[in-house]
Structures are given as C-alpha cells and as structure tokens.
Structure 1
Amino acid sequence: EYFTYSYALVFTNRFWTLIMSGILLIYLKPRRSKSTVIYEYSFPSISNMLSSWCQYEALRYVSFPATTLFKSFKLAPVMAMGKILGNKSYPQYDYIVALMIGVGITMFMTSTDDLGFGYDVYGAEVSTTWTGIMLLFLFLFFDSFTSQFQSRMFQRHRDLSMVELMFAMSAISTVLSFVTLIHSKELAPALSFVMQHSEIHLHFLLFSLCSTIGQLFIFYTIKNFGAVVFTLIMTTRILLSIALSCILYGHKVSASGFFGLMLVMAAV
C-alpha cells in the first residue's frame, strides 16, 4: 500500500519546515527586515507550493528518471524567468550553454536507464503519460518563478535574511496547503493511512528534515550567488548523482552517453 496523497505530502513538508525555521528564527535572532511588505512573501510561497504539488503529482504518471530528466532543463526557464521579472538579462551564449547542458544530460540518461515515460513511480504502466509531462512543464514554470522571485526579493531588500524568508514562505504555504488539503477531501483518507501505518511518521520527519536543511542551502545560494548559479549547481548535482549511480551499480554507459557527459562538462 502506497501513500498517494500529494496535497497531504506538501502540507506535511511545509508544516515541519515552518516549525524548524521558527526554531532557527528564535535561536539565531536575525535582524528583521523593515522594507519588505507582507504580500510579497505570498508570491514565492504560492509558486513554491504549486511546483511541489506538480512534481509529486507527476510521479503518478511518469517515472522518477523522467522527472529527473525534466529537471535537467531547468536552467533555460530560470534564465527566461529572470528576464521576465527584470532580475537580469542574459546573452544568447548563456542560453546555448543551458541547451548544451540539457541535451548532454538527456544523452547520458537515455544511454544508461530506461526513462519509463509510460510508467509511474511504482513501476505500473499508465496510459496518461501526457498528463505527467504537462505537470512537469508546470513544475518548471513555477519552480523557475520561485527562485527568481526570491532572488529579486534579496536584491531589493538587503536587510532580508534567508531564515526570515523561509519562515514567512513556510507559514503562508502551510495555511494554503491545509486549506487545499481540506478542499480536495484528502485530509480524512491521509489521516486514516497515517493511523494505520505508524512507521510513516519517521519517513515524514526525515523527509521534512532533509527538505529544511536543503532549503537553507538553497536560500543561501540564491541570496549570495543568484538563481542561475543555484540552478547550475543543481543540474550538475543531477549529473554527478547519475554518474555515481552508474559507478556503484555497474551500469554500462554507451559512447553517446559518454559524449553527453563531456558535453555537459564543456558547457559548465
């Protein structure tokens, strides 16, 4: 039996991130920003919540490797979103580099493992693959907006700390995701599942703890280096994790996969 409630997963993640960021806020006591307006926090909060939901929901229709493949193309949408939001304009050369990275990772992934676009995360065959692909495109859009809007907030409000932004976003996301959880009628079945499977509490805690620690690194990178550098780091991480998996588990890499690896290295 699997936990299939996407809204409940988003709420649980945001709730624990709110608790942990609140503890950090009390412990670190960063200087509170006086230039930010409350409604500004709502934009990245909503987009971040929607990107998480799209990512989790997409796993119902496509495999995890397929989701990873789409994430490798995130650099170009992030750059485009940065131009739309007025953060920064990028030369055409940078877009070519982003395309090279995406193509290189695609070649590398398709040479090692089956992407499984016709299978969900559980390995079951599905016929609604295009639904999953559309959700992944929406994920790219919302995730690109989130990182670039956060970058813009840090640029406009120099006194804004990453812990304060994380706490404010988590607070708004927790409320919105809880309302959505009730409206979608997932609350009762999700609670029933949790009561029947007590071992899931540990999974929730570890998932939220890792997510919170990851969020700290994300906010630090975006604040100090910008959204594009953060996306480049994440894309490189995807490649390294796949390459490490091939080494540890003995997956064979074809000539095209090796060429894709070299293409990404050259682009970086």
Structure 2
Amino acid sequence: MTVEKLYFAGGILTFYGLLGIAQEKITKADYGDDKFIYQAELVFTMVLSNLVFAAWSGSKRDQNDKTPKLIYILCAICYVTAMLSSNYALKHVSYPTQVLGKSCKPVAVMLMCLLLRQKSYNFSKYFCVFLIVAGVMMFLYNPKKSTGSGELGTGELWILASLAMDGCVASCQEFMKKNYQSPKSNMMLNLNLVALIVLVGQSLASGTFFGFFGFVQRNPDCMKWLAALGICSALGQHFIFSIVTGYGPLLCSIVTTTRKFFTILLSVVLFGNSLTTQQWSGSVLVFIGLALDGFLESRAKSGAAAQKKKSK
C-alpha cells in the first residue's frame, strides 16, 4: 500500500473502531427500567452528523459536478437500506452471526460490480479477496456464540439484503468515479441528505422518532456517547469517501471488513490474551491475502510504468 492508502485506511480503522465503542456504550448501558430499542435512530444520528460535516466542509465541494442527481438518489437509497437491513438482522440473529455475514461484503462488492458491468477483476484479485474474507470469517467465527435467535431464516435474509445493497452502492460509486469523477465532498453531502430524508420518514412511520428523543431526555448520560458516535461517524466516512473516490469501493470494503479483525487482534496484543488455533489460521490467511494483493498490485504498476517508458 502507498502512504496515502495507509493514511486513509488508518483513519477508517481508528474512527470506526472508536465508533464501535461509542455504540456499545449507548446500547449496552444500564438505563434502569428503560431499554434502548432505537437502532434506526442511531443510524439517523450518524447520517445527520455526516451531513453536517459535509455541509461544513462545503467550500471544498465542486460546483461543476456533472453527476446526475438520480444516480446520487439511487446510491443513497441503497446506502441507507444496507444500514437498516443490517440493523434489522440483529432482531433475529446474534451479533456474531451478523458480523460474519457482513464479512462477505468485499465478495458482494465484486459480484455486483461485475454483474452490473461497472468493473471486472482478474483472477488474482478474486483469490486475494477470498483469502482475506475467509481469514476474517475464520478469525471471528465462534460456534458457541453464533447461534441465531428468533425466527429462523429472517435474520439471514436481512443480512443478504444488506450485502446486496452494499454491492449496489459500490457499483453506483464505481460508475460515478469512472464516468463523472464525482468529488468526495459532493458524494458525501448528497448521499447523506437523501438518506436522512428516508430515515426520518421511516422513523416517523414506525413511531420511534419522538420516542428516541424522549429516551435521551430521560437518560442524559448517553448524550456524550451520541456526540462521540456522530463525530466518529463523520470523520470515518470522510476517510471512506476519500478512499472510494481515489482508489475505488473494493479497497474500501476490504479495509472496513478487516477493521473488526485488526480491532480484536489489537486487543489481544494489548491485554495478552491468547489466540486459538483457528484464530491463528485466520490471521495468517488475512495477512497472506493483504500481502499478496499489495505485491501483485505493486508489480502490475511497475510493469505498466516500464511498458509506458519502453513505448516512449
């Protein structure tokens, strides 16, 4: 990876790692007789923060952006549907099951981009992504905690819907990057604006919108974590759109997928916990996949540069 790629990846790993901590503090805290049931409103909080950040950095927006508004709207609908589907899945399956399912995101991105003819990949890229995804799934999988609850099959269908929408978002972003060079600030602003409208409508229809504000009013201690959630979401998404517009959605999906792996691995190193044989095997697969992908990409760029020099 280049220094810029590492910088963007580091930003995603840092801020989404902190976001996960804030989200857990909000959802797992003891509120007495109150119970936190406002998952969709957490998404609303993050999207609102993303929108405010995008509007605040408005001086960097490209006023000559030629991307059709319809493309932004379609991408935003897929974007918010993916987040909501992922949250709805948690009502029917355990969190580890949801994480395992979402670990397949790079595969969904590649398949949808291929099916919608936005981009094709060579065999080596498929192989590297397979190694990374298989390694992450092997590292995270815990048969003692991965059993689902509730209506059998419903949670898995929500996860598949979320993955399909993730792939559609990636395909839209690839299309915008390839045909319109859509700037990240415009993309961030437009996607979150449409997503916010959809979320408010969904939340009002479900009757939880005002209930969420009532919950916060009754439990003001969660406000600091909601603020942290919003800040980390906005900064994390800034890095996400930086990497999407600069290097494409596939690399972004690989970074976000391996984030959970590196977060857990870091905690193991810091607190001296031991890894199981299965986790060691998964770790080796992830590092082999990342190293091989970086090596092949570097070699391809060197070959292209040498060919260009030779043609001159």
> How far apart are the structure 1 equivalents of 2:128 and 2:195?
34
Identity %, equivalent residues: 24
Kindly state the Cα deviation for residue 243 of structure 1 after the two structures are TM-superposed: 1.3
Residue in 2 that maps onto 1:6: 39
Superposed counterparts of 1:1-268, under 5 Å: 1-25=34-58, 28-110=59-141, 113=142, 116-118=145-147, 126-128=149-151, 130-158=153-181, 160-268=182-290
Q: Give the secondary-structure state (helix, strand or coil) at the position aligned to 2:67.
A: coil
Q: Which runs of 5+ in 1 are unaligned?
A: 120-125
Residues 147 and 2 (structure 1), Cα distance of their counterparts in 2 relative to 1, 3 Å cut:
farther
Residues 100 and 191 (structure 1), Cα distance of their counterparts in 2 relative to 1, 3 Å cut:
same
Kindly state the Cα deviation for residue 114 of structure 1 after the two structures are TM-superposed: 5.5
AA at the equivalent of 1:24 = S
> How far apart are the structure 2 equivalents of 1:24 and 1:129?
45
AA at the equivalent of 1:12 = T
Give the TM-score normalised by the residue count of structure 1: 0.87
> How far apart are the structure 1 equivalents of 2:101 and 2:79?
17
Kindly state the Cα deviation for residue 33 of structure 1 after the two structures are TM-superposed: 3.0
Q: Going by fraction, where is helix more abundant, 1 or 2? A: 2
Moved >6 Å (runs of 4+): none
Kindly state the Cα deviation for residue 258 of structure 1 after the two structures are TM-superposed: 1.4
Q: Give the secondary-structure state (helix, strand or coil) at the position aligned to 2:220.
A: coil
Kindly state the Cα deviation for residue 129 of structure 1 after the two structures are TM-superposed: 5.2
Computed over aligned residues only, the root mean square deviation of the Cα atoms, in angstroms, reads: 2.1
Question: Could you tell me whether the CA contact under 8 Å between 1:65 and 1:115 is conserved in 2?
Answer: no
AA at the equivalent of 2:201 = V
Kindly state the Cα deviation for residue 178 of structure 1 after the two structures are TM-superposed: 0.8
Residues 176 and 103 (structure 1), Cα distance of their counterparts in 2 relative to 1, 3 Å cut:
same
Question: Could you tell me whether the CA contact under 8 Å between 2:47 and 2:195 is conserved in 1?
Answer: yes
> How far apart are the structure 2 equivalents of 1:178 and 1:79?
31
Kindly state the Cα deviation for residue 115 of structure 1 after the two structures are TM-superposed: 6.1
Kindly state the Cα deviation for residue 163 of structure 1 after the two structures are TM-superposed: 0.9
Give the number of aligned pairs.
257
> How far apart are the structure 2 equivalents of 1:136 and 1:210?
24
> How far apart are the structure 1 equivalents of 2:137 and 2:150?
23
> How far apart are the structure 2 equivalents of 1:65 and 1:157?
38
AA at the equivalent of 1:142 = M
Q: Give the secondary-structure state (helix, strand or coil) at the position aligned to 2:153.
A: helix
AA at the equivalent of 1:66 = T
Return 216-225 or 6-15, whichever deviates more. 6-15
Question: Could you tell me whether the CA contact under 8 Å between 1:63 and 1:115 is conserved in 2?
Answer: no
Question: Could you tell me whether the CA contact under 8 Å between 1:194 and 1:201 is conserved in 2?
Answer: yes
Instruction: String of CA shifts for 1:96-148, please: whole Å, max 9, x gaps.
Output: 332222222222223xx5662336xxxxxx33353222222221111222123
Question: Could you tell me whether the CA contact under 8 Å between 2:61 and 2:183 is conserved in 1?
Answer: yes
Kindly state the Cα deviation for residue 32 of structure 1 after the two structures are TM-superposed: 1.2
> How far apart are the structure 1 equivalents of 2:135 and 2:259?
14
Q: Which runs of 5+ in 2 are unaligned?
A: 1-33, 291-312
